[in-house]
């Protein structure tokens, strides 16, 4: 198993790498490191230090993401995203693929959806029929590695695809704990 050096709290730790790609590193937490979610650490690679941010969920390995990664910007009050960002073709944001299921709830319906992507602009999902109204807020319950989370989302975009309708919705509210789980789950899916 590949070993990695990280610097945290002024100390350097050797830790085994569970999984990695070009952007994310999943590691076993060093025994005495006591890393906290959102904490900045340094990945020491070939003599250079790369600033990383810790993503952590209980009973799981730690994932390191690059500092400033769009994944850390999902649902941030101060993200600076306005109405123009949703309609702009010049602005580019990283989008992360997902493949999980959820339940979308409206005033008089519950409908299953497939969650296919997420970015700092919102969450993308497919549904079998055209039935949602733009700028209306819906409750979306999502399954993240057998852990359910709940959020409020407002429909911003829709287009036809071969097997239904693709919708994009801005996240309007989510509990801090659910947001941690969603970000961690999204990062872990990029490593599969």
Q: pLDDT tens for residues 48-67?
A: 888 999 988 777 789 999 98
Q: Give pLDDT, residue 182.
A: 93
Q: Give pLDDT, residue 181.
A: 92
* Exposure class string for 151-189: b at 16+ Cβ within 10 A, else e: bebbbbeeeeeeeebbbbbbbeebeeebbbbbbbbbbbb
Percentage of the chain beyond pLDDT 70 is 92
Q: Give pLDDT, residue 30.
A: 82
More confident residue, 101 or 83: 101
Which of the listed CATH numbers 2.40.40.20, 2.40.10.220, 3.40.1160.10, 3.10.129.10 matches domain 73-190? 2.40.10.220
Question: What span, in angstroms and rounded, lies between the C-alpha atoms of 48 and 173?
Answer: 39
Q: What mean pLDDT do residues 118-140 have?
A: 90
**Is pLDDT above 70 for 77?**
no
Q: Give pLDDT, residue 38.
A: 87
Q: What mean pLDDT do residues 3-23 have?
A: 87
**Is pLDDT above 80 for 93?**
no
Q: What mean pLDDT do residues 67-91 have?
A: 69
- Mean predicted lDDT score pLDDT of the chain: 86
Q: Give pLDDT, residue 36.
A: 87
* Exposure class string for 92-122: b at 16+ Cβ within 10 A, else e: eeeebebebebebeeeeeeeebbbbbbbbbb
Domain segments of the chain as ranges: 3-68, 73-190
């Amino acid at each position: 198993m590949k070993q990695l050096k990280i610097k945290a709290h002024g100390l350097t730790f050797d830790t085994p790498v569970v999984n990695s790609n070009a952007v994310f590193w999943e590691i076993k937490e060093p025994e005495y490191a006591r890393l906290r979610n959102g904490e900045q650490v340094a990945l020491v690679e070939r003599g250079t230090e790369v600033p990383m941010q810790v993503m952590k969920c209980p009973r799981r390995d730690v994932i390191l993401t690059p500092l400033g990664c769009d994944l850390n910007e999902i649902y941030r009050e101060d993200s600076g995203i306005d109405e123009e960002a949703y309609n702009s073709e010049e602005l580019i944001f990283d989008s992360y693929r997902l493949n999980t299921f959820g339940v979308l709830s409206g005033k008089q319906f519950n409908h299953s959806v497939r969650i296919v992507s997420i970015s700092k602009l919102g969450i993308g999902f497919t549904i079998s029929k055209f039935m949602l109204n733009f700028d209306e807020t819906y409750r979306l319950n999502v399954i993240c590695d057998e852990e359910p989370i709940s959020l409020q989302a407002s429909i911003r975009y829709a287009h036809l695809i071969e097997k239904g309708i693709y919708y994009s919705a801005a996240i309007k509210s989510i509990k801090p704990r659910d947001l941690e789980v969603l970000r961690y789950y999204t990062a872990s899916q990029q490593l599969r």
